[in-house]
A and B are shown apart, each in its own frame.
Chain A
Amino acid sequence: MNDMTPPEMQATDLFSKFDPLIETRRSLLATGVTDPFSLVMEKVLSPTTAICSGRETILLGTYNYMGMTFDPDVIAAGKQALDDFGSGTTGSRVLNGTYAGHRAVEDALKEFYGMDHAMVFSTGYQANLGIISTIAGKGDYIVLDIDSHASIWDGCKMGDAEVVPFKHNDIEAMEKRLKRIPEGAGKLVVLEGVYSMLGDIAPLKEMIRIAKENGAMVLVDEAHSMGFIGPNGRGVAEDQGVLEDVDFVIGTFSKSVGTVGGFCVSNHPKFEIMRLVCRPYVFTASLPPSVVATAATSIRKLMHAGNKRAHLWENSRTLHGALTQLGFKLGTAEPQSAIIAVIMPDLERGAMMWEALLREGLYVNLARPPATPAGMTLLRCSLCAEHTAEQVGIITGMFERAGKAVGII
C-alpha cells in the first residue's frame, strides 16, 4: 500500500493549545497533593455536611447559602412533581416543555421580586448568555465590569454588540466610557450585585444612577445575593434602594434556591417577546418538573426567611472576624456577603492549604485563574444559614491548624 499523504500534510493536534495547562496541572499533582478539581461527595448528609473520601466533612464551599436543599417542603414538592408530571419534559419551553410548574415558578419569581415578568432558563449561565446576547445587538454597546462572570462575557461574545469593559467597581471609569459612546447607540450596562470571587459588592446606587443619566439600560446579576441581601432578599440593588431602576435582574436557582436553573425578571413592557427571540431559551430542553417544583417552593419560603438571613450574616461576620484575627489575608476588609475569600500566596501553597483543610474535614473552593481576578489563588469559603455557631468555631480551629501546618499564618 502506498501512503500518499505528504509529510507537510500531517494533522495538527487541536489539543496542543492546552499543553501549558496540562503541564501546570501535571507539575501541581507531581508535588503529591490531592487533585482539588476532582473531589467526589460520596454521601450528602445535610446542607452543611457530606462524606468525602470516607470521612465526614463540613461543607464551606457550596452556594447553598440558605440551606434549602434538604428543606422537607422543598423535597416533598419535588417528589410530588415526579409522580404527577414525570422525570422530564423532553422539549423546549416554546414547544412541549412548558408545564404548570414552569408557570408556577415564574409566578413565584414575579412575586419574590415584585416585578411584572419572569423568564426561567435551564441554567443561570444560559440566562446571562441568552439575555445579554439577545438584547444588545449590532451597533449597540455593552459596558461591563472587567471582573464579570464567565456567563456575562460569553453572552457578550455571542452577540454582535461592541463590548467595553471598565476597571472593577470603578465608577469614574464606567462613566467616562458611557459618555464616549456615539450618540444614538443603544447602551447596556452589566453589573453584578456580589462579585463571587472576592465576595465584594458593587456600588450599585451610584453606578445605576450614572448609567440612567447616560441613557443606558441596566442589567444586574444578583446570583450571589438572592435570598439574604436586601430587606426582602432581592439582592444588592434592593439593599441600596435602586431595584426599581434595574431593567433586568438575572438570577439562579443553583445558589440560595438550592436546585438548578436561571432566570431574568423585568418590568420592561415588551419583555415577553424574549421567549421567541432568545436562542438559549428556545433551543434547549426546559427544566424537569421536579426541579421547577422544588424551586417554586423554595422561592416562596425564602420570602419569609428573616431569621435564617440574620443567622447567615452572623456566621459571615463571625468567620470573617476570626480569620482576620488569625492573620489570613481576606478578599474584603469587612464581610460584604456570604463569601469570604482567603487569598493564598500561590497556587502550590493554595493547593497544599486546600488539602490540609480537607484532611481536617473541611471543604472549601480552590479558585485560580482565569476564574479569579489579578491572577490570584483563592480559598473561597461560602457560609450557609444552616451552619451552626458551633460549626463556625470548629471551622476556625481547622483554619488555624492548617494555616500553621502549611506556613501561611
Chain B
Amino acid sequence: MDRATIAARIAEVIEPFNKNGIAITEATSFAGDLEWDSLTVMDFVAAIEDEFDIIISMNQQAEIETYGQLIDAVTTLQG
C-alpha cells in the first residue's frame, strides 16, 4: 500500500473522531489542534490498529505528534 492510499484510509478513520470539524493537514497536531484527551487517543489508535492490522505501541505513539507523522508511521509499520 502506498503512502497516498494509506493517507486516504486514515482520513476516513479519523472523520468520526474529528468532532469539531477541524481542517486537517499533515502538520495538524493531535493534542494541540484536535485537543484530544487520552481516552479519545486510545480509541483512535485502536481504530487505526484495526484498520491496518498493526500495533502502534505506546512507545511509538510518543513519537507521533502530527497527522503527517502518523501517516509515515503507518506506512513504515505496513512494511
Contacts and interface: CB of A to CB of B under 8 A. Distances in A.
Contact of A165 (B37, B50, B53, B58): B58
B39 A375 contact: yes
Given A146-B42, A374-B39, A375-B39, A163 B58 contact: yes
B57 to A, nearest CB: 4
B57 A141 contact: yes
A167 B59 contact: no
B55 A181 contact: yes
A177 B55 contact: yes
Interface residues of B, number: 13
A374 B42 CA distance: 11
Interface residues of A, number: 16
Interface in B40-79: 42, 46, 49-50, 53-55, 57-60
A162 interface: yes
Interface string A162-202: 11111100000100110011000000000000000000000
Nearest to A374: B39
Contacts of A180: 49, 53-55
B46 A173 contact: yes
A190 to B, nearest CB: 13
Contacts of B54: 180
A179 B39 CA distance: 23
Contacts of B59: 162-163
Interface of B: 37, 39, 42, 46, 49-50, 53-55, 57-60
Given A164-B55, A181-B55, 4 more contacts: A146-B42, A156-B58, A167-B42, A375-B39
30 contacts: A141-B55, A141-B57, A146-B42, A156-B58, A162-B57, A162-B58, A162-B60, A163-B57, A163-B58, A163-B59, A164-B55, A164-B57, A164-B58, A165-B42, A165-B58, A166-B46, A167-B42, A167-B46, A173-B46, A176-B49, A176-B50, A177-B49, A177-B55, A180-B49, A180-B53, A180-B54, A180-B55, A181-B55, A374-B39, A375-B39
10 smallest CB-CB distances across A and B, nearest first, come from A162-B57, A163-B58, A180-B55, A164-B57, A162-B59, A163-B57, A164-B55, A146-B42, A177-B55, A163-B59
